[in-house]
Every structure is written in structure tokens, then in C-alpha cells.
Amino acid sequence: MRDVSKDRQRAPVPLILRDAAKTPLLRMRAEILSLMKIYLAGPDVFLPDAVEIGRRKAEICARHGLIGLYPLDNAVDLSARDASLNIFGGNKDMMIEASAIIANLTPFRGASADAGTVYELGYMAGRGKLCLGYCNDPTPYADRVRKFTTVEQQDGRLVDADGLTVEDFGLSDNLMMIHALDLHGCALVTPRQATADLWYDLTAFETCVRMAAGRLGAAPAQASSRP
């Protein structure tokens, strides 16, 4: 979300969308554009240069004929009492507008993906939208948990220091997330080994973009012939 208290305004609505109701042709083109929109979910919004990483992701989407909708594109007055609700509402509106989601499920402040991103993935799956996700750390979930607590075998299962079962299916995260992607889009995209830069390496993200473009029938952007 952008802080409008700093007078950073959202870009104007494209003319083709604003005037879509005027002619059948414009309406059809607007509908096609709406099918190309991808909600870009992830804890990227918490990075110190969150706006820049969103710009990079949107540019990658554009190269593949897609429109990336990034949460920080929303204009929100962060000093307002209802700022958090406005952020929620803005993100929800973006998800409704989009035809698909690409979720960054790289572990965030713990062994698993960002909670907000997981909610957004579930929301999009529940609405029957195309769901894709990537994770720059392919480490199995149980091994990730070991970084934060002791994990040992007990009665044929893995348990942590509190005696709670640790999910151990060889998956990189919770089974509900992994199989939501399997059933509602494409399998989680991961590198063979953790990337050197978990938050700025967009190789797996671009793989998701290519898959989304293929599923949605997007046409790649043409390089300019101008000198």
C-alpha cells in the first residue's frame, strides 16, 4: 500500500478500462485485459525496498503479456485509524480483480510461509482462481523446524520440544498449501537448492509468470523496433 499522507497517488485508470462500456470492441478488450491480471502476493511488501521489488515483478509480468497487481500499488493513509482495514480491503479488491495469484511462499520469520500470503492463496483458491506459488528455499518443512526447536522421533512420529507433532511428508511446507497449488494451478516452484538471495532472486517467480501466461493465453510483449 502507498501512503497517501505523502501525496503518492495511484496511477489513473487506463482509458480503455474507463470507457469500456462505450463500445462492444472496447468492452471485449477490457475483458481480455482483466483476464491477464495477476495478484502478486508475498512478504516482499516488508522488504526495505518493497516498492522496487514490486516494480521488478510487474516488469517481468509485462514482458510475458500480464498485468501484475502489487499490494503496495494501493493508496492508503497509514496514519488513519482504519489503515489496516483499508489495506485488507484494497488487497481483497485486487484479488477479486485478478484472474490468478502468484504467491511468494519462501519461509518468513519462521519455518513456514507468511501467514497473510497463505490466507490470500486460500482466498484465491476458494474463488476458483488460478493459483501459483514459488519458494526460494526447497528445504523440507521438518528440517526447517529443526532450526527453531528440537525435533525427535517419538512413537513413530516427529515431535518438537513441546511434544507437538511436526508434519513430515517430505514437503517444503504445510500440506494444505502444497496441495492447494496442485489442485488449483501448478505445483510449487522451487530451485534445487536455496538461492543465495532468498528475497531478491526472481528466477522461480519468473517461472511462475511463464506458466501463468501459458495458462491464461497471454501474448508476450514485443520488443520495440525503435533505435
User: What angle (nearest 5°) sits at the alpha carbon of residue 112, between those of residues 108 and 113?
Assistant: 55
Contact 101, 120 (CB under 8 A): yes
User: For residue 32, which of 163, 225, 218 has the smallest C-alpha distance?
Assistant: 218
18-137+174-216: what fold? Rossmann fold (3.40.50)
Contact 180, 136 (CB under 8 A): no
Q: What tens-digit pLDDT sequence spans the chain (227 residues)?
A: 656 544 434 444 444 445 555 566 655 555 555 569 999 999 999 999 999 999 999 999 999 999 999 999 999 999 999 999 999 999 999 999 999 999 999 999 999 999 999 999 999 999 999 999 999 999 999 999 999 999 999 999 999 999 999 999 999 999 999 999 999 999 999 999 999 999 999 999 999 999 999 999 877 765 443 43
Total-model pTM: 0.84
Portions of the chain given CATH number 3.40.50.450: 18-137+174-216
